[in-house]
């Protein structure tokens, strides 16, 4: 029963996020729900949806939630400053770097960047020579590769051993592709090198030109990453990413384009699962024709 109460409270939070509300009364949520939200990386979002209600400050959970928000502001802005330092150091080569996951979406789709917690900075460079140069630049900035796993472990993955900056306390993962060869979507044409290149667009980050995935590719990538590497603790964060992509973007999603990628792919099942769940929770509305075609692709 307590778990059901927490889930119900989180759905209330997700509904408030979609509606861009800030007037929820924190007192109406249980301490378990608040702690559940904080543990799952949604603390800053819950703080934002409740801080506009004058009664929220009286809640016994207000200070812990405020602390989660302040902590997120410090961590995320340190990551953003770290990214700026990296891109500035790369100069003209920064245009070959594609921002992935949280570091890509936190400023372009979230209302405030600290609302999107992230464990590291994910960067993609498909060209081996340029990626090696970027990694060399990271070392020059003081980053060091470290892991509990040996170097051989990363030779079969889609990114090299993570880089860590001892002063900034931030991690960077350099990706050569979006998924490891062992992923069920690894052979999908959706995530081929040519497809990724065609679905990457230029953007500006603090005055420096770099790259990011199109909203369409962001949507399918986020859904597949969520399904392939499901994390029971942070699994709600990708759902929020999808909610922002579908409800808060200035760009209208080209469903025909996405549907043209999906036949015969494992990606179709992942996207269908994500959108169907969010729609059944009453958080999004997908055109009936699109939903029907998604289901057909996922089950054929």
- Report, as an integer, the average pLDDT of 226-249: 86
Q: Is the pLDDT of residue 192 over 80?
A: yes
3 state SS of 99: strand
Task: Say if strands 170-175 and 121-124 run parallel, antiparallel, or are unpaired.
Answer: parallel
pLDDT by residue (tens digit) across 114-132?
999 999 999 999 999 999 9
pLDDT by residue (tens digit) across 132-143?
999 999 999 999
- Report, as an integer, the average pLDDT of 190-197: 94
pLDDT by residue (tens digit) across 60-69?
999 999 999 9
Count the helix, strand and coil residues of the chain and give each as a percent rounded to the nearest 5. Answer: 55, 10, 30
Task: Say if strands 208-213 and 98-100 run parallel, antiparallel, or are unpaired.
Answer: parallel
Q: Answer for the pair 95, 87: CB distance below 8 angstroms, yes or no.
A: no
Name the average pLDDT for the chain: 93
| CA distances (Å), origin 96, targets 99, 127, 221, 253 | 10, 8, 19, 25
What residues contact residue 227 under an 8 Å CB cut-off, 6+ apart?
269, 270, 273, 274
DSSP string covering 157-209, please? SSB-SPEEETTTTEEEEEESSSS-TTSTTTT-GGGSHHHHHHTEEEEEETTEE
Question: How does DSSP classify residue 100?
Answer: E
Q: Which range (90-99, 112-121, 148-157, 250-259) has the least confidence?
A: 148-157
């Amino acid at each position: 029963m307590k778990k059901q109460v927490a889930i119900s409270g989180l759905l209330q939070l997700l509904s408030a996020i979609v509606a861009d509300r800030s007037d929820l009364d924190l007192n109406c949520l249980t301490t378990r729900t608040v702690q559940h939200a904080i543990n799952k990386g949604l603390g800053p979002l819950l703080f934002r949806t409740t801080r506009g209600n004058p009664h929220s400050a009286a809640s016994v959970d207000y200070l812990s939630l405020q602390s989660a928000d302040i902590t997120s502001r410090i961590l995320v802005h340190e990551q953003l400053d770290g990214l700026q330092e990296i891109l500035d150091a790369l100069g003209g080569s920064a245009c070959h770097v594609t921002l992935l996951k949280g570091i890509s979406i936190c400023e372009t789709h979230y209302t405030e960047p600290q609302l999107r917690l992230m464990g590291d900075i994910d960067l993609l460079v498909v060209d081996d020579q340029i990626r090696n140069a970027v990694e060399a630049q990271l070392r020059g900035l003081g980053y060091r590769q470290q892991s509990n796993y040996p170097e051989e472990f990363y030779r079969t993955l889609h990114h090299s051993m993570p880089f860590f900056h001892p002063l900034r306390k931030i991690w960077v993962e350099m990706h050569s592709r979006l998924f490891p060869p062992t992923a069920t979507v690894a052979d999908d044409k959706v995530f081929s090198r040519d497809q990724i290149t065609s679905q990457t667009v230029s953007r500006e980050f603090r005055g420096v030109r770099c790259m990011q995935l199109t909203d369409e590719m962001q949507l399918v990538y986020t859904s597949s990453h969520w399904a392939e590497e499901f994390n029971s603790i942070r699994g709600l964060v990708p759902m929020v990413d999808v909610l922002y992509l579908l409800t808060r973007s200035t760009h209208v999603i080209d469903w025909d384009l996405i549907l043209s990628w999906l036949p015969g792919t494992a990606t179709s099942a992942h996207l269908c699962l994500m959108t169907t769940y969010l729609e059944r929770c009453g958080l999004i509305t997908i055109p009936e024709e699109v939903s029907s075609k998604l289901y057909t692709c996922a089950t054929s």
